[in-house]
Each structure stands twice: as structure tokens, then as C-alpha cells.
């Protein structure tokens, strides 16, 4: 019974698992550097190094600038230009009604100040400003969802690695137990209590379990390298993860009906909010593209002046007193025929809006499926954990009883081998059930969009 209690309380063995697995794992990977990580550290590294998240961060900077540019578009544009040059060759001068042509060098300075202010452009500026605001907010929500994606993937691989450690430990413990069983059988054979076939069968079983342990070790190393790739660790650096508490608990979300869970997901999912904002932004872009079909009214002002070396007066007097010109006015532009370019812009905006609506509808269906699957899988995981706990308890009792009967010579080797295999299977099934149940909570929170990112 004491053995049963120890097996059922897996979390009490976390420190032992860590020490044993770490020692064996590091010795087998002497050619690589090992990085010890807890779950929070793994998530932080994943958030810092994830390529998708870094790309989205860079794109967000562009969206911020586009929003700022659209806001500044409501202000007048202002440009200043200056030219300083020497003109050599025939020069035309008008003196007392006569046009005199000479070959000389003329030093010229020109200065121009121009400003332009849209008065009416079919509300293009207003709609563009609103659209860029929606796009920037959508980018923020996309970043938040990408961070949840990173945490979800890291959590999945982190827990898989912990499960691999559990299974490897179970395989090693079973191998050691069967080696001791082989020594016992060899003693029974020498005493004439068991046949030589039992010894050979046990030797075969030990050899099989060595292969099982080797496969478990390979799987552990493979998943460790997978997590290293996800975290974008340095080459030849492999992570060793520290255990987490996986005490089974019933989620608060399981008490809610599916309809409420779906409504909660619609409210909380950052990717759904992103699609809503993109849809609104593209709708504003349709209105902005239609603005080119309407007349455009702009106000403009221009200040021009120049200096020439042909004039003997000073530079300042020429630039600021004699030659300055000011032009102030309005321009009206009425689009009549532009080779269908304006119409094409409107159609492109409409198609972009319609495609965004389709993506939103597809996401709505996907959210509904995610909620249903995660909800049902969670309930199934609870039942599986309860069933495997009973399975493990029965397997422990059966193996203990048959081992004693085998020692007394009542049971045969086949019964003992079957009981041992059932015990190992029960141990593995229960470990997998515990981690699956723990991860189902993360899956459900991820599907609902309430997964809190550990920063």
C-alpha cells in the first residue's frame, strides 16, 4: 500500500525525477551545453526570440507611423527650395526697350516657399485617418495573440518534455526492477526452484526493456531539441526544464455552458478583435478610395524670389525687396476620365473588404470548433485521469500479488511478465493522463483567449 501511495502522488517525486533525469541527460549530452529553465524563463526567452513576434513588432512600428502620417495629413504641407548656380553663355537683357544679347557669366540665386492645403477631397483624409487608427489597433491585438501563440507552443513543448522525463524515469525504474528480478530467477534456477526457460525469458524481457528505455531517452532528446528550436537557443545549447506542479483541478470554465464560453471567446479573443478592426479599417478605405471620384479643392500659397549678378543692387535687397512674388489661390480638380484607374482603386478596396469579411466568418467558425473540442477534450481528460488512477491502483495490487505467488512457486513466468507490463503501462498511462489534463486547461484558456502571457 505504501508503494501505491507513492506512485499515485507523482508530484512528490519531482525532485527525484529532476535529479535523476538531469544527471543522466547531461552525462549523455556532454558534447552539448545544457541550459536549465523554469517555465517562466522559457516563456520569456520564447517571447524575446520568436521570429514571428519580432516581425509583427517591426510591422507595428510601420502602422504607428502610417497613423501619425494620416493625422498630420490634415495640416498644410510646407516645402522650401533653393537653387544657387552660375549660368555661362549668351545672356538676354532688356535695357530701355531693347533686347541686348551678351556672352557673360551670371550668378543666380532662387528661393521658393510653397504650401498646399486640401479644402475638400471627398472626406479622403478623414476616412484614411480612421482606417489607419483601426489598422494600428488591429496590429496591437495581433501582437497580443501572437504572444499567446508563443506561450501556448512553449507550454505544449515544455510539458511534453516533462512527460518525456517521467516516461524515461518509469522505463529506467522498470529496467532496474527487471534486472533485479533476473538475479532472483537465476538464484531460483540454481536452487532448482525454477526452470532454465524462466531465466531465458527474463533475460529476453530485460533486453526488451533496455530498448524501451533507449527509445524513451531518444524521444526525450528529440523533444528537447524541438523546444530549443522554438526558443531559438544558440547552436549546441539544449534546454533542461524544471518540473511544474500538475495537481489535477477542475476548471471554473467547465461549469459554464458552451454558449457562454463561445460568447466569452468572442469578447476575449485578440485575433477576433483584430479581424473586426481590420474589417472596419477596410470599410473606411473603401470610402477613402471613392473620394478620388469627386472634385478636389485645394488652397495654395507660393513665395518666390531670386538674385542675379547682372543687377548691381545687393543680394538682400534683390531677394527681400525687389524680386519677391507671392501667389495665393485655389485649385479645382474635377476627375472626368482617368483610364479607369480611379474605378480600379475602388474595386480593389471593395475586394479587400469582402476578403476581410470572409476571414472574419472563417475565424468565427474556427472559434466555435475550438471551444467545442477543447471543452469536450477537457471533460474526457478528467475521466481519463480518474480511470488511469484506478488502473494504476489495480496494476500495483496485481503485480504485488503475482510477484509473491511467483516467489512461492505458485504462479508461472508468463503471469509475472504480464503483471509487470501492465504495471508499467498503467504508470505510463497515468503520467500521460496527468499531463494531458493539466495541458487541457491551457488549451481551453487559449481557445477562450484568456491565456495570460507570463512576461
SS (H, E, C) 278-289: HHHHHHHHHHHH
| pLDDT for 29 beyond 50 | no
Give the neighbor-by-neighbor strand order of the sheet with 296-308: 77-95, 98-120, 296-308, 325-333
User: Between 75 and 32, whose confidence is greater?
Assistant: 75
Q: What number is the average pLDDT over the span 107-124?
A: 90
Round to whole Å and give the CA distance between 402 and 415.
Answer: 7
Residues in contact with 380: Cβ distance below 8 Å, sequence separation at least 6, in sequence order: none
- pLDDT value of position 98: 60
Confidence grade of residue 365 (pLDDT, cut at 50, 70, 90): very high
Mean pLDDT of 135-162: 95
**Quick one: average pLDDT of 200-215?**
92
C-alpha to C-alpha distances, 15 to 11, 19, 433, nearest whole angstrom? 9, 6, 20
Q: What is the mean pLDDT of residues 8-27?
A: 44
- Of 35-44, 265-274, 404-413, least confident by mean pLDDT is 404-413
Residue 278: the pLDDT is 97
Distance CA 260, CA 263 (A): 5
Q: How much is the pLDDT for 445?
A: 93
For 70-109, the pLDDT digits (tens) are 999 888 999 999 999 888 877 666 555 666 666 778 888 9
Name the grid cell of 102: 551678351
Global confidence as pTM: 0.80
351-388 burial, b at 16+ Cβ within 10 Å, e below that, comes to: ebbeebeeeeeebbeebeebbeebbebbeebbebbeeb
406 vs 55 pLDDT, higher one:
55
Containing 365, the helix (H) or strand (E) segment is helix 341-407
Residue 59: what are its φ and ψ, rounded to 5°?
Answer: -65, -30
- What does the pLDDT read at residue 95? 57
Residue 397 CA to residue 411 CA, distance in Å, equals 15
Give tens-digit pLDDT for 432-449: 999 999 999 999 999 999
Mean pLDDT of the 40-60 span? 93
User: Which architecture does CATH list for 2-75+122-294+339-448?
Assistant: Up-down Bundle (1.20)
Q: Is the pLDDT of residue 334 over 60?
A: yes
pLDDT at residue 15, rounded to an integer: 40
Collapsing DSSP to helix, strand or coil, 442 comes out as: helix
Query: Are the C-beta atoms of residues 39 and 159 closer than 8 Å to each other?
Result: no
Average pLDDT rounded to a whole number, residues 123-151: 95
Q: What is the mean pLDDT of residues 26-30?
A: 47
Q: Hey, what's the torsion of the CAs at 437, 442, 445, 447, to 10 degrees?
A: -90
More confident site: 202 or 158: 158
Over range 133-152, report the average pLDDT.
96
Residue ranges covered by each domain of the chain: 2-75+122-294+339-448, 80-120+296-334
- What value does the mean pLDDT of the chain take? 86
pLDDT above 80 (res 54) = yes
Burial of 75 (0-12, 13-18, 19+ CB in 10 A): exposed
Using pLDDT thresholds of 50, 70 and 90, give the confidence band for residue 267. Answer: very high
Task: Grade residue 1 by pLDDT with cuts at 50, 70 and 90.
Answer: very low
List Cα–Cα distances, 340 to 73, 75, 335, 351, 354, in angstroms.
26, 30, 11, 16, 21
Percent of the chain at pLDDT exceeding 90: 60
Q: What is the pLDDT of residue 288?
A: 92
pLDDT in tens, 374-402: 999 999 999 999 999 999 999 999 988 98
Which residues is 331 bridged to in the sheet? 298
Classified as helix, coil or strand, 300 is: strand
State the Cα–Cα distance between residues 25 and 29, nearest whole angstrom.
6
Amino acid at each position: 500500500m505504501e508503494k501505491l501511495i507513492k506512485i499515485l502522488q507523482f508530484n512528490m517525486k519531482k525532485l527525484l525525477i529532476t535529479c535523476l533525469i538531469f544527471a543522466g541527460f547531461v552525462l549523455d549530452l556532454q558534447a552539448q551545453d545544457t541550459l536549465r529553465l523554469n517555465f517562466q524563463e522559457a516563456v520569456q526567452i520564447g517571447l524575446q526570440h520568436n521570429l514571428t513576434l519580432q516581425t509583427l513588432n517591426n510591422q507595428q512600428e510601420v502602422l504607428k507611423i502610417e497613423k501619425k502620417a494620416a493625422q498630420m495629413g490634415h495640416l498644410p504641407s510646407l516645402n522650401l527650395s533653393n537653387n544657387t548656380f552660375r549660368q555661362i553663355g549668351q545672356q538676354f537683357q532688356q535695357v530701355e526697350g531693347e533686347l541686348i544679347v551678351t556672352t557673360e557669366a551670371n550668378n543666380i540665386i532662387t528661393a521658393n516657399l510653397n504650401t498646399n492645403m486640401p479644402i475638400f477631397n471627398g472626406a479622403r483624409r478623414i476616412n484614411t485617418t480612421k482606417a489607419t487608427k483601426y489598422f494600428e489597433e488591429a496590429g496591437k491585438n495581433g501582437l497580443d495573440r501572437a504572444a499567446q501563440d508563443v506561450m501556448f507552443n512553449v507550454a505544449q513543448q515544455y510539458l511534453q518534455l516533462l512527460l518525456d522525463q517521467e516516461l524515461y524515469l518509469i522505463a529506467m525504474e522498470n529496467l532496474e526492477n527487471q534486472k533485479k528480478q533476473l538475479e532472483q530467477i537465476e538464484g531460483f534456477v540454481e536452487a532448482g526452484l525454477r526452470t532454465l526457460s524462466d531465466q531465458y525469458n527474463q533475460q529476453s524481457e530485460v533486453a526488451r526493456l533496455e530498448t524501451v528505455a533507449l527509445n524513451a531517452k531518444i524521444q526525450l532528446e528529440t523533444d528537447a531539441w524541438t523546444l530549443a528550436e522554438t526558443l531559438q537557443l544558440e547552436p549546441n545549447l539544449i534546454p533542461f526544464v524544471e518540473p511544474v506542479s500538475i495537481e489535477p483541478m477542475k476548471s471554473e470554465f467547465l461549469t459554464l455552458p458552451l454558449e457562454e464560453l463561445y460568447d466569452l471567446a468572442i469578447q476575449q479573443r485578440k485575433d477576433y478583435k483584430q479581424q473586426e478592426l481590420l474589417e472596419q479599417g477596410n470599410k473606411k478605405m473603401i470610402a477613402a478610395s471613392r473620394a478620388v471620384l469627386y472634385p478636389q479643392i485645394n488652397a495654395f500659397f507660393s513665395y518666390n524670389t531670386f538674385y542675379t549678378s547682372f543687377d548691381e543692387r545687393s543680394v538682400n535687397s534683390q531677394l527681400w525687396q525687389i524680386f519677391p512674388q507671392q501667389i495665393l489661390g485655389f485649385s479645382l480638380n474635377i476627375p472626368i476620365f482617368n483610364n479607369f484607374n480611379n474605378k480600379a482603386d475602388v474595386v480593389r478596396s471593395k475586394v479587400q473588404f469582402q476578403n476581410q469579411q470572409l476571414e472574419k466568418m472563417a475565424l468565427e467558425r474556427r472559434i466555435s470548433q475550438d471551444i467545442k473540442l477543447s471543452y469536450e477534450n477537457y471533460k474526457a481528460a478528467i475521466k481519463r485521469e480518474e480511470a488511469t488512477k484506478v488502473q494504476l491502483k489495480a496494476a500495483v495490487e496485481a503485480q504485488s500479488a503475482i510477484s509473491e505467488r511467483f516467489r512461492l512457486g505458485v504462479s508461472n513466468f508468463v503471469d509475472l511478465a504480464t503483471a509487470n507490463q501492465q504495471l508499467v503501462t498503467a504508470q505510463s498511462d497515468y503520467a500521460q493522463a496527468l499531463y494531458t489534463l493539466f495541458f487541457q486547461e491551457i488549451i481551453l484558456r487559449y481557445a477562450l483567449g484568456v491565456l495570460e502571457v507570463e512576461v
